[in-house]
Each structure stands twice: as structure tokens, then as C-alpha cells.
Chains A and B, each alone.
Chain A
Amino acid sequence: MYEYDLSLLEVCRLNIVLDIAEKAVSKALESGAHQAEVFVSSTKSFSIDVENNSIKTAEDIRDAGVGIRSVVGKKIGFAFVTTIQESDYLEAITKSVKIAKASIPDPDFVSLPSYEGRYPDVQGLFDPEIPRLQPEDAAELIIRTVDASLQEVGQYEVSVEARLAASAGTFAIANSLGISRTISLASVMISSSSLIRNDDARTSSFEYQSTRNLRDLDPEWVGSTASKKAVRNLGGKTIEGGTLPVILAPLAARIILGGGFAGAVDAEEVQYGRSYISDCLGHQIASESLSIIDDALLKGGLGSGPYDGEGFPTQRTLVLDRGVLKSLLHNSYTAFKDDVPNTGSASRPSYAGIPSISSSNFIIQPGSGSLDDLISEVDKGVLCINTGDSPNMTTGDLSATITEGFYIERGELVHPLKNTLFGINMRELLMKVSRVGNDVRKDSSIITPSLVLDEVKVTSG
């Protein structure tokens, strides 16, 4: 019997990663840095893949590394290594100081952050059952997903691709101004695609679930939903097009508001004038039905955490209040530059880069009505279930293909769509949100229900 242990204790103890971070900070100061910040992570992930209805591959990935930011005057250098061996990170420290010295000073840089107060308590970020998941248990979960997919396809030929991925890690951050924090995080995800064939026609759909709590996983729901959606997608047609209402179901709303709006409230992009909402703070930029909170404190949230990528405490930030832009998302650099409070929005997914800014859990406040209710209210329009497009972040122009969607007539879905796009500027899109549903999907760091947009130019052919 093969024993497989994903246990974090085997990877790295919290105090070990923190020791490395603190030691590397002092080494950087000894090497000539005026300020230094070190991020250390040690993660372990296990995944299992299904191809054509059969398990094929198991992967065991251990990733550990150290990233060092050195400050010399107003000059900054960064280096990282993909190991936590002392000789390797010492080499990286030397490099980060050297390239800081050779860089061009940034007059707007004030300091790395410091903080001595209390940190928020955020629950539900580490389920010890996730790192304890054995390959056999993972295989069983994914087989249940596939079986549920196969049961839902009726007479069609089907090929299921599915994946389960579990990961757990320890993370530490320390800087020369006294910040020293550590945390363990775990999450697990199941995704499944049903590829179906009926004579010459082929189509597919997918579903997934991502969570920090192993018991939340519902493999039967993932598999059967992917298959139901795929069957429903057979027989796509073009439509006449025109100016029509468009319903964005949660997956599509997540892509458009997540990529297309959460990125626009990044204070750095706004300060540089590269965002389509530059100069809009305090203004009504969206319809009154739209309120958005960026909430890093959400229990068990995929974007939650007590501190940000620079070790600064996180918070709940009101971004959009009934359409009025209330706050941007800041890290220490942009907050110092604008002399405003730091919202704790520095993001750093791994040791391999300088912290940037991103939303934590970007929560679109729900309204009322299920997706079916919203559809029933549309006389003639389209439902966009998914798209892969994102707007031009400078102009806000969005030209989006409905990769999965339906034509609606008299409150009912008539047929799936093919070769159909819609075009709208994000500024206009935000204003045209006429209705917000309550069919919230939580399994992402962009948490949104369905949205109804009035009068969007739809092209098909």
C-alpha cells in the first residue's frame, strides 16, 4: 500500500519559513540594503487528471522559494530563487542589493510598510483535511465526478476531462521595519468538462468548484452540471442581432467585472492614468443597483487573509456604493504617494515577483431574483453564460464573444448561440446594470450574482 502524505509538517513548519525570512532580512541589511523585505513560501500540491473518462495522471508538486526586495535610498531591486537553501538565497540577496544600486531612483517611493497594531482574525483559511487527502480519496472524488457526468448525457457519446487539485502551503513575510507574519493556507478544486458528440455535431461545457473546506466539495454536482450544460449547448445558431438586453450569468459576470473592473480600481493604474476610471473617485460611475465591497476578511474566502502581500493588515473596503466610486485599492507605495490610507491590497501569489495590487474577495452585493427570474423578465435578449474576453483597460472598450449562451424570447431560452458577440464600453456597461440577481456563486475571489445589462449592441453571423 502506497502511503502518500501531503502533510504540511513534512513540507515546512511555520517557524522554519519565518526564520528564513527574518534571517534573510538581516543578511540583506548586512549586504548594503537600507530596507529589506523577504517573502518565503513552501507549498505542496497534489492533482489527479482524467482524460476520456479514465484517470491518467497524478502529480505531486512541491514548490519552495525565497523572494527578496532590497531598498537602497529610493532604488529597489528584487531577486528570487526556487529553493530555500541558504547558499541559494544568499546569492539572491547579493543580486537584489546589486540591482537595486544599479536601478533608477523612484522619487515617489517613501518606505516599505510598517505596522505594530493588531491583525484581523480571519477564519477558515486552513482545513487540515486538505493536506491529509490521500491519492485514493482524491481518485474516488474524481471518479464520482466522472460517473455523475456520464449519467447525465443520455444517448450522446461523451468524453469527460476532469481534474482534482489540492494544495497547501506555509507563507512567511518579514521586513526590516518590524513586520514578521506567517500563515498556512489550503484549498481544493474539482473541474470537469463534458465533450459530447451527436453524429457530426460536437459541443462541450464545463463546471468547477473551488473551496477552502474539503467537506464543501460536491463532485456529483460538478460532473452532472457540466454534462447538463453540454447537452443543452447542442445545436448553436446565429441570431439577427441588434440592440438587446444581455444577462451576464455569474461566470461571465465574474470574468467581465473581475478582470475588467477589479483591475481598473488598482490605484497604481489610476495614478499612472492607465485605467479607464482615472479621475473618477467620488463620482457616480455605475448604476445605483451596483455596490461592491472588497472583503479580505470573509470567512473561508479564496481571496481572504489577515495581511496582504507586504504583511500589512487587510480590511473590508467599500469600492462602489450604489454606483459611486468610494475607494481605490492601495498598497504601501500608492498609499504613500497619494497620502491616503493603505487598504492592504498588495498581492503576491508567490515568492516569484514584486507585490502588485489586486482585489481580495471582490463581492458584488446581491439584489433579488434567481437567474430564471431574470430570464423570465426579458422579452427578447441574450444570456451570456461564459466569455473569455476582457476589456482594454485604458479605453474600457469591451468586445466580447459569447462562448456559451442562449437566445431569449418571451422570457424563455430558445436556442444556444453561435458566433455571437456583444460590444460595449465598460463605463457604459457599469451604468447599464439595470438589475442584480441573488444567485451568488461563492467559489472564486470574485463573488457575484447574475447581472442584467439594458441595451447592448449584439452582433451575430
Chain B
Amino acid sequence: MRSYQWAINMEHLARLAIESALNTGVSFADIRIVNTTTTVIEITNGVSKGSIASRSKGAGIRAFIDGAWAFAQTTDLSPDAMREIGISVARLALATRSKTSERFEIEGPSFSGKSEFRPKTHFHDISFEDKVKYVKAIDDQARDYDPRIVNTHTLYGERWVELFIANSLGTSVYVENSLPRIISTPTSKDGTNRQSGFKSVSMRGGFEVFQREDSLNIGISAAEHAIRLLDSKAVEGGVFDVILDPALNGVMTHEAFGHACEADNWLAHSTVLEDKVGKIVGPEYLSITDDPTLPHLRGSFEYDWEGTKASKHSLVQEGRLEELLHSLETSSRLGMHPNGSARAQSYMDIPIPRMSNTFMEPGDWSSVELIEDTASGLLLCGVNYGYTNPSKGQFVFQADHGYLITNGELGQLVRDVSVANQILDILSKIDAVAKDIELEAGTCGKFGQTVPDTTGGPHVRIRSVPVGGV
């Protein structure tokens, strides 16, 4: 009930800010009022290294007129402060208008809704001491796994978000989010050979996520991986046929295609897909979906950060580029329907088109057959990182590890393998899609803002791509 009361108070404050802005002379205004609490527990070698509690509370407000936006933010949530910031942000928009040369309007439907999130076990129902106990157990697991584990590092994070969104089109939305995360990164050493393992679990939920089998044993699985990597070799660079595991396929899908489908790229002419909407961009057995409405995933939400109701997006349907990821501005300017893809990191940031849970749809190969069918190449697994530049059409991703494939059989373990390619070329190089699918939690950065997300897909095979070795 507390949060419901909070939402009613916020509605009142939001209206004050929006009305002050409109009265100052702008045509559109919106506001996000956010109350976020986080706890971070970091344990290294069995010792607390960082125990952090935080509260972040504030409002971000935008004003718009004739193609000029202004954004301001405040942590003072009093009625007077709301009126003041409404006026000052509107004045900044009016001042900016005289310098703009593109004119447009912001239009769209309005939404009303309250979406309370009820995890099975709320973070505040577990004591800090019990949380430390859990993290310590994970850290100990990793250290006790093998004497060659020389350093353990365990990171626990929980974030509870209450978000109220309103705009001058009439939108009034309250949403809650709850994100737990556990990461284990042990270091192994044998002689001068050092390796680092990495495992993480995150979903949308409460403390119960830490009681899942994979979360309870994450120290062991990360240590196991760090030990296994001691036998890995750096791969010799070259052009290979590669099979990507679900986690890595997810990152390729996200980097090579997802970002290029974010509609702000059309306004900035910054994507090689600009002229491809409705056109064939890959083979007909290839479909890519972005879906924030799936339950319990790290990138899930009911309404986006502009208050637009979330919906499933078919970015690529049977090889054809179908749908883009929109904010209110991109849908207004491109004459398309808003589809709830505007996200912001916090109240201090402007919402921009982002992905949520993005994945390649499964095909009909079995992953075992896929390997057996590959005469020579690499199976690449796990994610280090990825990045893309849609305006150049290039993307890069790096696998945590992989295996050489010779005559359809897996051989030598390799590590830290980068793959680089072109957005417009890569989909047509995919010649086989497996029927297995897995999703993995991640975090995506764009224009200095990070948002939680999920990526995934089935095993896929890509023919002849350059692989960077060491």
C-alpha cells in the first residue's frame, strides 16, 4: 500500500511540473519520478570488500516545442521545486527552439496504468546479515573447489525501482521493478598461467532468484570454468566457419542487428538498415524478436520509460526487416506506431529507443548435428563483450572460450576469441539455425546509459568469418 500512496503523491507533483511547463509555452512535457534502492555486497577471498547501500530519488523532466527538446532534473520533490523546474525546462526548450532547423511534433496515444511487481520474496524481507551469508557461501565454494583457485570475487546486487511517468498527452503510469544479480569471478593459477572464470545469474524477481539451483552453485560453476581454462590455448587468427552457442548468438543478434533497428538511427541517418525496412535482409529461416512482455526476464517491463505500453516486436520476420524499436519521438517523426521501447538508465537520463529481451528464433537443426556437419571450424561459447557502430555497419563480439572443430568433432579448448563483421553481410552468412534456445542476462550501454537486458537464441553456424586470435 505504501507504494500505491507514493504513486498518488507523485501524480500530483507530476501534474504541477507538466502544467508549469505548458503554461510557459511549450507544446509537450513529460516527467519521470523515480525512487530506487540498491544494495551491493562484494566479497573477495572471503572478506567484505564493498558493502554499499544507496537510495536514488529524483525527477527528470522534458519540455518540447517545434523540434527543440530540453531536459532537466531535480532531487527536490517538493511542490515548489516541481513548479520551478517545469518553468525552467520549458524556458530552456524555448531558447533552444531559435537554434533548431528541423521542425516536428510529438504525438501518440496516452496510457494509464499501475503495474505493481510482487516478487515471491521481497529484498527487504531478508536481513543484510543473511545476504552476506549467501554471498560468503558462494565465495567459499569457489575457493574450496580447487587449490589452484588463487583469488575469489563475488558480487551481489539488488535493485528495487519505483517509477512514475506522466506526460502532457494524458499518460499516467506507475511501475515497479526488482532486479537481483549474482556474479562469481574466480582466478585460477598454475605456474605462470593465470585464468579468470565468469558466471552470472540475473532475472526479474526477488530474493528467491538467489535460491535457484544455478544461483546457489554459481561459485562452483565459475571455479570449474576458471580451472578448465588453464588447459586452454589462444587461437591462431584466421577465417573460420563458426558455430555460436546461445549466449554468443544472443550477443551477435543484439550487436549486429538489434542496435541497428533502434529507430533513433533513422532520424540521425546512422544505420546501414535505413533503406531496408520491409526488405529482405537475411535468409527466410531467420527471425529476430525483441520482447519485453516475457515474464521474469531481466529486460522485461509492462510500460516503457515514456509510459507507452510494452509489446512484442518482430524485428526480422523470415528474413524481412519488419519492425523498429520506437520512442514517442521516433514514432511521431517516422509516422509509425509507438511500441514501448524508450528506456532511460535513471531519472537523470533521457529515454531513448532500446532493446529489452532480444533473441533469434529457433530453427530446425539439432545442435549436435550442427557440430557433426562442420568439417572444420570453431564452436564459440560464452560472452566477454560486444559492440557495434551501425552507421559504419560494423560489429564485433568476443567469446569467452571455444573449441576447435575437426571433422565434426570438438577438440582443443581456446579462449578470448573476437569476431568482426558487417551488419549487412552477416545474416546471409548464417546457413544453419538449431532448435535449442537459451537466454542470458546482460547489460547494454548506449550514449552513456546502461539498461538491464536479456539476449539469446539457438546455436547457429556462420560461414567464413574472420576470427581474431592472439
A385 CA to B394 CA, complexed, in Å: 15
A2 CA to B99 CA, complexed, in Å: 13
Among B69, B128, B237, which residue has its beta carbon within 8 angstroms of that of A57?
B69
A64 CA to B58 CA, complexed, in Å: 11
In contact, A395 and B69 (Cβ under 8 angstroms): no
Residue A79 lies at the interface, judged by CB distance under 8 Å to chain B: yes
Residue B368 lies at the interface, judged by CB distance under 8 Å to chain A: no
- B357-415 residues with Cβ-Cβ distance < 8 A to A are 384, 387, 389, 391-394, 396, 398, 415
A457 CA to B93 CA, complexed, in Å: 52
In contact, B43 and A104 (Cβ under 8 angstroms): yes
A104's nearest neighbour on chain B, judged by CB, is B48
Among B69, B91, B127, B470, which residue has its beta carbon within 8 angstroms of that of A423?
B470
> In the complex where A4-B92, A397-B234 touch, is A389 in contact with B71 (Cβ < 8 A)?
no
- Stretch binding the partner chain, chosen from A287-295, A308-316, A398-406: A398-406
Residue A368 lies at the interface, judged by CB distance under 8 Å to chain B: no
In contact, B51 and A394 (Cβ under 8 angstroms): no
> In the complex where A139-B99, A399-B469 touch, is A61 in contact with B72 (Cβ < 8 A)?
yes
A63 CA to B221 CA, complexed, in Å: 40
Residues of B contacting A51 in the complex (Cβ-Cβ under 8 angstroms): 267-268
Residue B239 lies at the interface, judged by CB distance under 8 Å to chain A: yes
Interface-central residue, B57, B69, B195, by most chain A CB under 10 Å = B69
In contact, A2 and B69 (Cβ under 8 angstroms): no
Residue B129 lies at the interface, judged by CB distance under 8 Å to chain A: yes
Interface-central residue, B71, B187, B394, by most chain A CB under 10 Å = B394
Residue B256 lies at the interface, judged by CB distance under 8 Å to chain A: no
A75 CA to B129 CA, complexed, in Å: 13
Residue B283 lies at the interface, judged by CB distance under 8 Å to chain A: no
A83 CA to B56 CA, complexed, in Å: 8
Residue A154 lies at the interface, judged by CB distance under 8 Å to chain B: no
A425 CA to B469 CA, complexed, in Å: 10
- Stretch binding the partner chain, chosen from A11-19, A116-124, A413-421, A433-441: A413-421
Total of A-B residue pairs, C-beta within 8 Å? 267
Among A58, A274, A418, which residue has its beta carbon within 8 angstroms of that of B196?
A274
Among B76, B101, B417, which residue has its beta carbon within 8 angstroms of that of A53?
B101
Cβ distance A190 to chain B, nearest Cβ, rounded Å: 16
Task: For the complex, count residues of A whose C-beta is within 8 A of B.
Answer: 89
- Stretch binding the partner chain, chosen from A95-103, A173-181, A324-332, A359-367: A95-103
Among A58, A100, A159, A398, which residue has its beta carbon within 8 angstroms of that of B269?
A159
A352 CA to B52 CA, complexed, in Å: 9
Residue A91 lies at the interface, judged by CB distance under 8 Å to chain B: yes
Residue B270 lies at the interface, judged by CB distance under 8 Å to chain A: yes
A459 CA to B465 CA, complexed, in Å: 10
- A248-280 near B? 1/0 per residue, CB < 8 Å: 000000000000000000000000111010100
Residues of B contacting A422 in the complex (Cβ-Cβ under 8 angstroms): 237, 468
Residues of A contacting B100 in the complex (Cβ-Cβ under 8 angstroms): 54-56
In contact, A425 and B234 (Cβ under 8 angstroms): yes
> In the complex where A102-B128, A202-B272, A273-B187 touch, is A461 in contact with B96 (Cβ < 8 A)?
no
Interface-central residue, B71, B195, B234, B466, by most chain A CB under 10 Å = B466
Residues of B contacting A92 in the complex (Cβ-Cβ under 8 angstroms): 53-55
A13 CA to B150 CA, complexed, in Å: 48
A388 CA to B49 CA, complexed, in Å: 30
A229 CA to B267 CA, complexed, in Å: 22
- A107-145 near B? 1/0 per residue, CB < 8 Å: 110000000000000000000000000011001000100
Among B45, B75, B270, which residue has its beta carbon within 8 angstroms of that of A83?
B75
Among A54, A64, A75, A204, which residue has its beta carbon within 8 angstroms of that of B270?
A204
Residue B223 lies at the interface, judged by CB distance under 8 Å to chain A: no
- A155-175 near B? 1/0 per residue, CB < 8 Å: 000010100000000000000
Residue A197 lies at the interface, judged by CB distance under 8 Å to chain B: yes
Residues of B contacting A61 in the complex (Cβ-Cβ under 8 angstroms): 71-73, 348
In contact, B239 and A461 (Cβ under 8 angstroms): yes
Residues of A contacting B398 in the complex (Cβ-Cβ under 8 angstroms): 389, 399
Residues of A contacting B151 in the complex (Cβ-Cβ under 8 angstroms): 272-274
> In the complex where A59-B70, A79-B53 touch, is A2 in contact with B236 (Cβ < 8 A)?
no
In contact, A353 and B52 (Cβ under 8 angstroms): yes
In contact, B75 and A82 (Cβ under 8 angstroms): yes
- B152-170 near A? 1/0 per residue, CB < 8 Å: 0100000000000000000
> In the complex where A56-B69, A419-B420 touch, is A76 in contact with B466 (Cβ < 8 A)?
no
In contact, B270 and A78 (Cβ under 8 angstroms): no
Residue B311 lies at the interface, judged by CB distance under 8 Å to chain A: no
Cβ distance A431 to chain B, nearest Cβ, rounded Å: 14
Residues of B contacting A78 in the complex (Cβ-Cβ under 8 angstroms): 50-53
Cβ distance B409 to chain A, nearest Cβ, rounded Å: 24
B266's nearest neighbour on chain A, judged by CB, is A52
Residues of B contacting A4 in the complex (Cβ-Cβ under 8 angstroms): 92, 95
In contact, A272 and B45 (Cβ under 8 angstroms): yes
> In the complex where A54-B101, A389-B396 touch, is A421 in contact with B468 (Cβ < 8 A)?
yes
> In the complex where A60-B70, A92-B55, A401-B420 touch, is A204 in contact with B194 (Cβ < 8 A)?
no
Residues of A contacting B422 in the complex (Cβ-Cβ under 8 angstroms): 418-419
The 4 closest A-B pairs by CB, nearest first: A421-B468, A459-B237, A103-B48, A399-B418
New contact pairs (19) apart from A104-B132, A420-B466, CB-CB < 8 Å: A2-B94, A52-B267, A57-B96, A59-B70, A59-B72, A60-B71, A77-B53, A103-B48, A103-B132, A108-B47, A395-B196, A397-B234, A399-B417, A401-B394, A401-B418, A403-B389, A419-B422, A457-B470, A459-B468
20 A/B residue pairs, CB under 8 Å, sorted by A: A51-B267, A56-B68, A57-B68, A63-B348, A76-B48, A77-B51, A78-B50, A83-B58, A91-B55, A103-B132, A233-B392, A238-B466, A272-B44, A272-B153, A354-B52, A398-B470, A399-B468, A419-B420, A421-B418, A425-B470
